[in-house]
Structure 1
Amino acid sequence: MPDADQPPELPARLLTDPEMIEACQVRDFARVFRLVKVRAGIYPSVIARRCELTPSRVGEVMGGKRQLLHMDVIERIADGLRIPGGMLGLARRSWETPQALVAAPREPSVVARSTKSAPAALPGPEVDGILALTARTRLSAATVEAFRSSIEDYWRRDDQHGGEALRPAVVGQLRHVATLLKENRPPSVQNGLYGVAAELARLTGWMYFDSRQYHQARAYFTEALQLARQIDDRQFMANVLACMSLQATYQDQPADSLALVSAAQDQARSDSGATPRVLSMLSMREAFAHASLGSRSSTHRALAEAHRQFGQVQVSDPDPSWVSYFDEPKLVVDTGIAHGRLGEAATAEPLIVDALRRERHTNQRGRAFHFFWLARIQLDQGKLDQACRTATQALESAAAVASERVAGHLREFYAQLTPYRNEPVALVFEARLRELLPLVSGTLRP
C-alpha cells in the first residue's frame, strides 16, 4: 500500500508517452505541465503545491512566459510529480529505489552538543529570481566568445561520442541564451548572442538528426534559420540549409534535398564574404542531392565545382569556424561517397581508402561512416572478404559513438550480407557485431 504522505506516481501510459519523454529530455516544463494536467488530471494548483512553486509561477511556465532552469527547481518537479530522474537528466531519485533495498540508517553516535547554533537560511528571493538578476548584468564580447568556445567543445565531444548525452545541456544553454536576448544590450553583444543562439539551435538540430528524430531536427534547424536571419548571417543560413538538405537525402527526399541546397547556395552567393571553403562544401552537398536523384552528369558537374572552389582555399581566408571540418580528406571522402551513390564503385573505392588514411582519428562517428561506405562499395564489387574486414574496422569506431545513423548503416550493411550469411567471413563479422554493438545487433533479423 503506498505511503499516504507521498504523492502518487504518474500513470505509466504518460511516462512512456513519446511526447512526455521528449518534453522531459529537453526540460520543456510548459509541455510537461500541460501533459500532466491533460493526461493525469493534475491541475496547476496541485502541480504548484507538489513542486513547491507558486500557482502564478506555474501559470507563467505553462503560458511560455517563464522558464525553469535551476537544478534545485528541476529536482523538486521530479520529486513532486514523481518523474523518474533519468527522464530529466538527473540522478536516480531516492524514491525510485524500492524500500526493501534501502539500507537501514545507523544509530547516531552520541556527540556533545555544540554551543554554536546552525546558521539560519539566508532570506531573499527564490533561486530563479536570483538567476534572473544575474542575467541582467552587462555581458561583454568575452562572454560571447566563451559561449562559442563551449559550442566548439560540444561539437568535438559529439564527433567522439555522439550527442545523445550532450543534448540536454545544449538545449539548456540555448534556452539560457534565448533568455539573455530579451534584454537590451549593445548591438555588438546582442548580435553575438544571436549568432551563438543560432549555432546552438543548429547543433541541437544536428543531434536530433543524428538520432534520426527528423521532425525535431527540422524544428531546431528552422529556429537556427530564424535566429541567423535576425543578424543577416547569410553564410550561416546557407550552412543550416545544407544540413537540412543532407537530412532530406537521408529521408529519401532527393528533390527536397536539391531545393534546399540550391537555396543554401543562393544565400551564400548573396554574401560577398562567402569563402571558397564554404562554396566548396555547398557544391559537395549539391553533388549528394544529384547523386540521390541518379543524375550522373549533374553530380559530376557539382563535384568538379567543389574541387575547383577548394583549389582556391587560402590559409588566410576568414572561414567561419563551423566549416573548418571540411578539409581535404573530407573533400576526397565525400567525392568517393558521391561516386558510390551513383554506383561508380571502382572510382569511389580508392578515394575513400586515401581519405581514411589521412583523416583525423578523433572523429569516431565520421570514421565509422566512411569505413561502412567503403565496405558497401567493396561488397558491390563482389569483394566479400575485404568488405567484411572493412566493416569490422568500422565497428571499432561505431562502438564508441551513440548514433542512430551509425546503427542505420549497420543494419543496411548487414542486410546486404544476406546472400552470404553462411560464409565464414560473414559469420566472423556478425559475431563481432553482436559483441561490440549488442543493442544494434539485437534489432537485426537472423
Structure 2
Amino acid sequence: MPESSPPPELPVRLLTDPEMIKACRLRDFALVFRMVKKHAGIYPSMIARRCDLTPSRVGEVMAAKRKLLHMDVVERISDGLRIPGHMLGLSSRTWESLPERSATDREPPSRPTESSASSSTPTRDVDDVLASVACTSPSASTVQALRSSIEDYWRRDDEHGGEALRPAVIGQLRYVENLLTQSRGDGVRHGLLGVAAELARLTGWTHFDSRQFSQARLYFGQALRFAKDIDDRQFMANVLACMSLQATYQDRPTDALALATAAQDHARSISGTPRVLSMLSMREAFAHATLGSRSGAHAAISEAHRQFERILDSDSDPSWVTYFNEYKLTVDTGIAHARLGEAEIAEPLIAQALHRESSTNQRGRAFHAFWLARTQLQQGKLEQACHTAVNALTPASAVTSKRVTGHLREFSVQLSPHRDEPAALAFDSQLRQVLPACVSGSPRP
C-alpha cells in the first residue's frame, strides 16, 4: 500500500459485533465494507486505497454485483482494514504481533509532507494505470516464458524454501489473471490457464510448507478450478495429490486416502502416464500408512513400483512429474515403511536415496535425513540416529520450511527418554545453536 504509516485499527465495538464477525467468516465483503463505512467512517474511496482495489471494484462489491474470492485480495483486505486474520480464516497477520497500543497512544496519521510523498518509484496506483493501458498481446512465447519462470521458482523452492518466493509468485499469478482478460486466441488462453493453475498450486505449496493449511487449501482449490477449465485431469490429479499429502500432516488420514483415490481416478480416466500413476500410488501408500493399514500400504507400494517399471523414454510426461525419478520412488517407499513403523525395511531405502540426493535440494536433504534418523532411533541406534540428525541441521538451517523444523522438533521430543545420553546432549546443543526455535514448544500435528 502507498501509505508509509500503518492504517489505524477498527473500533473494538465493530470487531466484536456479531454481524461483523459473521460477515467476515462468510467473507461477505459487501456487508463488511458497508459496516466499515457506517461504524468506522471509512468510505469506499478509502477502502479502495487501503486494500489496493479500484474504487469501481469496491462499488461493485458493495452493490453485491461482484465477489472477492482470491486469497491475495482477502489478505490485502485484512491488512488494509486491520481485520484480524482469524476473522477471515487467515493465519495471524504480521501486524498483529506488534505491541498493542492504548487508545491514548493512538494518534491520527499525519498528513504526508511534500518531501515524504515523493518517491523514486511510482505508487502502485500509477503502476496499475500504466499496466491497464499497456499494449500487451499474450502469445505462445509469453506462455513459454511464464512456464520457464515456474521451473525456476520450484528450483529455488527446493534450495531456499518458498516463504520468500511467495509474494513474487502471487504477483505473477495476478499478472497471468490479467493476461487472461486480454487473451483472444483459444490456444494462448488454454496455455495461460495452465500457467495460472501451476502458479496457484505453487502458492498453495508454499503455504503448506509453512504449515498455513487453510490458505494452502484455498490456493489448491483455485488451481483445481483453473485446471478444470481446460479439462487437464492429470494436473487436477497432481493438485489432489498435494491436498492428500497435506491431509496426512493434519492427521486426517481418511481424507488423505479419499483425495489420493480421487487423484488416481482422474489420471486413469485419461490413461495417465505410468510415472504419474506411480507417484499417485505412493500418495495412496502414505495415506494407508497414516491410517495404520499395513495391507493397504503394501499394496499401494507394489502398485507404485509396478507402474514405475512401465515407464518408457517415449512417454509424454507432464513437466510437473519429472521430479519423480527412481531415487524419489526409493525414498518415498522408505518413508511409507517408516510411517508403518517398519524401520528395518525403511532405513536402507532412505539411506540409499539420501546418498544420491542433489546437493542443491536443501529441504529434501534435511527432510530425508530426519526420516533416516527416526528409523535409526526406532531400532535403538541412538548414537547413529543423533549423528544423522546433526547432519540434517545444516540443510535445515538453509531453508525456510516449518515442515522441516517441525520434524526436527518432533525428533527432539522423541529423544526425551535419552536426554542424559552424550549423543542426545550433543544433538540438543547443536540444535540450540543452529535452530533454537526447534527447541521450545511442542511438535505440531
Cα distance between partner residues in 2 of 1:52 and 1:267: 38
Aligned to 1:387: 385
Aligned to 2:206: 207
Aligned to 1:132: 132
Note the C-alpha offset of 1:132: 1.4
Cα distance between partner residues in 1 of 2:143 and 2:54: 34
Note the C-alpha offset of 1:215: 0.9
Aligned to 2:157: 158
Tell me, yes or no, if structure 1 residue 303 matches structure 2 residue 301. Answer: yes
Note the C-alpha offset of 1:181: 1.4
Alignment of 1:25-424 (within 5 A): 41-47=41-47, 55-56=55-56, 59=59, 126-134=126-134, 137-272=136-271, 274-424=272-422
Go from structure 1 to structure 2 and tell me whether the alpha carbon gap of 1:282 and 1:167 turns closer, same or farther (over 3 Å shift): same
Note the C-alpha offset of 1:54: 7.9
Go from structure 1 to structure 2 and tell me whether the alpha carbon gap of 1:53 and 1:436 turns closer, same or farther (over 3 Å shift): closer
Q: Is the CA contact 2:370–2:388 (under 8 Å) kept in the aligned structure 1?
A: yes
Note the C-alpha offset of 1:441: 2.7
Cα distance between partner residues in 2 of 1:417 and 1:34: 54
Cα distance between partner residues in 1 of 2:237 and 2:339: 24
> Cα deviations across residues 255-306 of structure 1 (Å, max 9, x unaligned)?
111110100000000113x211111101111111111111111111111111
Go from structure 1 to structure 2 and tell me whether the alpha carbon gap of 1:308 and 1:130 turns closer, same or farther (over 3 Å shift): same
Cα distance between partner residues in 2 of 1:271 and 1:54: 42
Cα distance between partner residues in 1 of 2:270 and 2:354: 33
148-157 or 180-189: bigger deviation: 180-189
* Percent sequence identity over aligned pairs: 65
Q: Is the CA contact 1:60–1:66 (under 8 Å) kept in the aligned structure 2?
A: no
Give the AA of the match of 1:270.
Answer: S
Go from structure 1 to structure 2 and tell me whether the alpha carbon gap of 1:262 and 1:58 turns closer, same or farther (over 3 Å shift): closer
TM-score by length of 1: 0.77
Go from structure 1 to structure 2 and tell me whether the alpha carbon gap of 1:53 and 1:223 turns closer, same or farther (over 3 Å shift): closer
Note the C-alpha offset of 1:133: 2.4
Note the C-alpha offset of 1:66: 9.8
Give the AA of the match of 1:316.
Answer: S
Cα distance between partner residues in 2 of 1:244 and 1:49: 35
> Cα deviations across residues 114-152 of structure 1 (Å, max 9, x unaligned)?
xxxxxxxxxxx9542321122x63211110010001111
SS in structure 1 opposite 2:181?
coil
182-191 or 215-224: bigger deviation: 182-191
Cα distance between partner residues in 2 of 1:351 and 1:7: 54
Cα distance between partner residues in 1 of 2:302 and 2:333: 10
Go from structure 1 to structure 2 and tell me whether the alpha carbon gap of 1:255 and 1:132 turns closer, same or farther (over 3 Å shift): same
Cα distance between partner residues in 1 of 2:61 and 2:198: 25
Give the AA of the match of 2:332.
Answer: D
Q: Is the CA contact 2:137–2:182 (under 8 Å) kept in the aligned structure 1?
A: no
Give the AA of the match of 2:42.
Answer: I
Cα distance between partner residues in 1 of 2:409 and 2:133: 51
Give the AA of the match of 1:209.
Answer: F
Go from structure 1 to structure 2 and tell me whether the alpha carbon gap of 1:184 and 1:252 turns closer, same or farther (over 3 Å shift): same
Go from structure 1 to structure 2 and tell me whether the alpha carbon gap of 1:48 and 1:158 turns closer, same or farther (over 3 Å shift): closer
> Cα deviations across residues 366-410 of structure 1 (Å, max 9, x unaligned)?
111100001111101111000100011111110001011111101
Go from structure 1 to structure 2 and tell me whether the alpha carbon gap of 1:297 and 1:186 turns closer, same or farther (over 3 Å shift): same
SS in structure 2 opposite 1:362?
coil
Q: Is the CA contact 2:197–2:222 (under 8 Å) kept in the aligned structure 1?
A: yes
Q: Is the CA contact 1:10–1:40 (under 8 Å) kept in the aligned structure 2?
A: no
> Cα deviations across residues 11-51 of structure 1 (Å, max 9, x unaligned)?
3999xx9xxxxxxxxxxx99998897689653334456889
Cα distance between partner residues in 2 of 1:299 and 1:140: 45
TM-score by length of 2: 0.77
Q: Is the CA contact 1:286–1:299 (under 8 Å) kept in the aligned structure 2?
A: yes
RMSD: 3.4
SS in structure 1 opposite 2:182?
coil
Give the AA of the match of 1:399.
Answer: S
Give the AA of the match of 1:165.
Answer: A
Give the AA of the match of 1:231.
Answer: I
Q: Is the CA contact 2:397–2:434 (under 8 Å) kept in the aligned structure 1?
A: yes
Give the AA of the match of 2:182.
Answer: E
Larger Rg: 1
> Cα deviations across residues 337-362 of structure 1 (Å, max 9, x unaligned)?
11111111111100001001112121
Cα distance between partner residues in 2 of 1:51 and 1:291: 44
